[in-house]
Amino acid sequence: MADSPNTATLMFIAHRAMESRVMEALAAAGVGDITVAQSRLMQRLDPRGMRLTDLAEQARVTKQTAGELIGQLERAGYVVRAPDPSDARARLVTLSDKGVALCQIAGAEVARVEREWRTFLGDDAFTQLHEALTALRAITDPYR
């Protein structure tokens, strides 16, 4: 066994720390009805709207799971489903005003955490990390 976790595990640890901080910030703001699974789906929503099948594919969950989570978010008022203007048979999932407000709270916490990471690592190291991970998307992120 290696002395240090592999790079992917290290990235996952940082991601989970960020995710925990965002969930804590939402709870502190009085948002207690969002689960981690729901938040992971919301992170992938295109601001212009997305079809449920595309959202499920990107989140790597079944269409049924995505449908259930989106149904929960819709009932809570965070997303809406509307007809797709390019295909009358399809519907697009978009954020509601309440969903946008939730994302603003989450985004503010992400910015706080990134400032803390930048302070801890230093400007140069943080910038290099961000640039390296951005470059890595070319071979790891089919949805970039």
Class of the CATH-defined domain 7-140: mainly alpha
pLDDT tens track for 62-75: 999 999 999 999 99
Q: Where are the domains of the chain?
A: 7-140
The region, left, alpha or beta by phi > 0 then psi within -120 to 50, assigned to residue 75 is: alpha
Q: How far apart are CA 48 and CA 29, in angstroms?
A: 26
The span from the CA of 135 to the CA of 57, in Å, is 23
What does the pLDDT read at residue 133? 97
pLDDT digits (tens, 9 = 90+) for 5-33: 999 999 999 999 999 999 999 999 999 99
For 84-134, the pLDDT digits (tens) are 998 888 899 999 999 999 999 999 999 999 999 999 999 999 999 999 999
Query: Confidence class of residue 2 from pLDDT cuts 50, 70 and 90?
Result: low
